[in-house]
Amino acid sequence: MNKYKILFLATLSCLLLKAYPQSGYSIRLHLKPYTSGKVYLGYYYGKIRALADSAQLDAGGEGVFSGKERLPGGVYFVVSPSRAVLFELLLDSLQHFSVAADTTDLPGSVIFTGSPDNTVFQTYTRYTATKGKEITAGQKELATVHTKADSARIKEKMKKANTEIQDYRQTLGIKYPNSLLSTLFQLLKEPVIPPASKQPGGKYDSLFAYHFFKDHYWDGVSFSDERLSRTPVFEPRLDKYFHDLVPPDPDSIERETDMMLLESRVSKPMFQYLLVYFVQKYVNPEYMGQDAVFVHLFEKYINTGQAEFFTEKYRKFLDNRAYSLMANLIGAPAANLEMVDTAGAPRNLYDVQAPYIVICFWDPTCSHCKEIVPNVDSIFQAKWKQEGVKLYGVMVDGGREAWLQFIKDHNLTDWIHVYETKEHLDATEKAGQPNYRQLYDVYQTPILYLLDKDKRIIAKKLTYQQLDEVINLKMRKPKSN
């Protein structure tokens, strides 16, 4: 074969390699001082750490992670035979490379071949490790100093190290603007609020500062970039945004979730990640009333066939939760309760007339109820009753005799004590109608609801102390001591 033909074939090979990138992945390892054992390739998925592959090391500490399908881009890590994380690496467009390291000298000994992104990443890792030691040393020194001058000197030194890290990130971000590393730096970057002199009126404005920070929080970040989900920094940034910057009312949250989900639609993995994140966050929310966000997500995305990735079991759970919550959202009319009292006489909820009604779902055999229900009665007798509040107590389980005995033993007078008869429960099930447990999402006890005079839900699933605060607020009275 002549040299021109060899040159032609080599050129053709390079062109084909660019036009048709290598399929799958192959990461060759040389890890000292291992002479055997299995190592693992792990990845982040939000706050979860999982394993993607394993490799058997030979007597020379060599092995290979390989597969026929390319791995999703993101931050990965190598795990030792003893299940300790050795070092992190980046996977993006190039997934055929090698890495060598002396595991007794990390991260300084890690060397990548054939992966420019990881070479830069390791240089950055080593740099930040050095600066991190400076900052840690400063923190320890700060705890032992006794003069303001020394304290100021150490703080300035630590500030300088932090600034140098930020500058280093900015330099790399500018030099490699389309890299995964640059995307990671954007996630770590905090908006810099203009100085007071540059704010409206030339003075500090807290409202302006809040809006500026919130409006620029996601600068340079694309919600269609599926690599974000496989990093350890994206989910904490989401957490901070929704906890610190988004108003906690359902309408505000729904606008933000819809915006992010809309932008992520072009990337199915990212849409899936965000929808799962929001569903898990609001199916059992931190604050009362935010379950309306979950209902919104269910109606707009899950129940319209856009969440086929949920397992059948989890989808059934979401269906049940959604239909249980739809009937008891804050501000919605409460479902009527067709119950009978201790004498068997009808005492339906909608027959009760009062400016406020507290519903207490309880079980006389429940240990938590045995502790809480007498406290509910105490505040009712001492305060709520004089304010016109009526207490509608629903026996959920425990049996009629235990229920009546508990009422007698704890002198729970002036309550409207009720329960559902078996005949009514059977008729409800036969008609295919939801029962009160579904309508009020009663799957544990005790549970308290607060209704207004029109039987609209004001508050739910709060402690009796929190419920008292809501009643005080509604009645515009200071909380009693």
Q: What are 348-371's pLDDT values in tens digits?
A: 999 999 999 999 999 999 999 999
346 and 416 in a single domain? The answer is yes
Query: Residue 43 burial by CB count (10 A; 0-12/13-18/19+): exposed, middle or buried?
Result: buried
Examine the fold and report which residue of 277, 303, 326 is the final residue of a domain before the chain moves on: 326
Give, in order, the Cα–Cα distances in Å from 470 to each of 11, 356, 376: 76, 11, 15
Give tens-digit pLDDT for 145-204.
889 888 999 999 999 999 999 999 989 888 988 889 999 999 999 999 999 999 998 999
Q: Are 241 and 252 in contact (CB under 8 A)?
A: no
The Cα 441–Cα 359 span in angstroms is 13
Give, in order, the Cα–Cα distances in Å from 434 to each of 15, 324, 438: 65, 9, 6
The single-letter code of the amino acid at 363 is D
Is 120 part of any domain?
A: no
The Cα 209–Cα 219 span in angstroms is 16
Is 466 part of any domain?
A: yes
Is 480 part of any domain?
A: no
321 and 382 in a single domain? The answer is no
Please check the confidence at residue 333 and state whether its pLDDT lies above 60: yes
The Cα 41–Cα 95 span in angstroms is 13
Is 418 part of any domain?
A: yes
Q: How confident is the model at residue 406 (pLDDT cuts 50, 70, 90)?
A: very high
The Cα 417–Cα 248 span in angstroms is 35
345 and 471 in a single domain? The answer is yes
Residue ranges with strand state E in 346-444: 356-362, 389-395, 416-419
359 and 468 in a single domain? The answer is yes
Give, in order, the Cα–Cα distances in Å from 295 to each of 68, 243, 278, 329: 40, 20, 11, 9
Examine the fold and report which residue of 162, 188, 214 is the final residue of a domain before the chain moves on: 188
Structure tokens at 140: 């320890």
The single-letter code of the amino acid at 424 is H
End-to-end CA distance of the chain: 99
110 and 183 in a single domain? The answer is no
Examine the fold and report which residue of 169, 188, 207 is the final residue of a domain before the chain moves on: 188
Predicted pLDDT at 13: 40
Is 170 part of any domain?
A: yes
Q: How confident is the model at residue 477 (pLDDT cuts 50, 70, 90)?
A: low
Q: How confident is the model at residue 398 (pLDDT cuts 50, 70, 90)?
A: confident
Which residue is associated with the tokens 């990212």?
270
Give tens-digit pLDDT for 375-384.
999 999 999 9
User: Of 234, 322, 255, nearest to 282 (Cα)?
Assistant: 322
Burial 180-200 (b: 16+ CB within 10 A, else e): bbbbbbbbebeeeeeeeeebe
Please check the confidence at residue 447 and state whether its pLDDT lies above 80: yes
User: Of 357, 341, 345, nearest to 453 (Cα)?
Assistant: 357
229 and 305 in a single domain? The answer is yes
The domain tally of the chain equals 4
Predicted pLDDT at 301: 97
Is 77 part of any domain?
A: yes
322 and 346 in a single domain? The answer is no
The SS3 assignment for 393 reads strand
β 111-113/85-91 pair status: unpaired
275 and 296 in a single domain? The answer is yes
Name the strand (E) or helix (H) holding 51: strand 48-56
User: Of 391, 375, 374, 396, nearest to 442 (Cα)?
Assistant: 396
- What lies within 8 Å, CB to CB, of 149 at 6+ separation is none
Please check the confidence at residue 142 and state whether its pLDDT lies above 80: yes
Between 367 and 4, name the one with better pLDDT: 367
Please check the confidence at residue 17 and state whether its pLDDT lies above 50: no
- CATH code of residue 449: 3.40.30.10
pTM, entire model: 0.84
Predicted pLDDT at 373: 96
206 and 322 in a single domain? The answer is yes
DSSP state of 349: G
Is 332 part of any domain?
A: no
Please check the confidence at residue 372 and state whether its pLDDT lies above 80: yes
Give tens-digit pLDDT for 106-122.
988 999 999 999 999 99
85 and 169 in a single domain? The answer is no
Instruction: Look up the domain containing 135 and give its range.
Output: 125-188
- CATH code of residue 95: 2.60.40.10
| DSSP per-residue string spanning 202-230 | GS--HHHHHHHHHHTTTTT--TT-GGGGG
25 and 64 in a single domain? The answer is yes
248 and 312 in a single domain? The answer is yes
Is 318 part of any domain?
A: yes
Query: Residue 409 burial by CB count (10 A; 0-12/13-18/19+): exposed, middle or buried?
Result: exposed
Please check the confidence at residue 289 and state whether its pLDDT lies above 50: yes
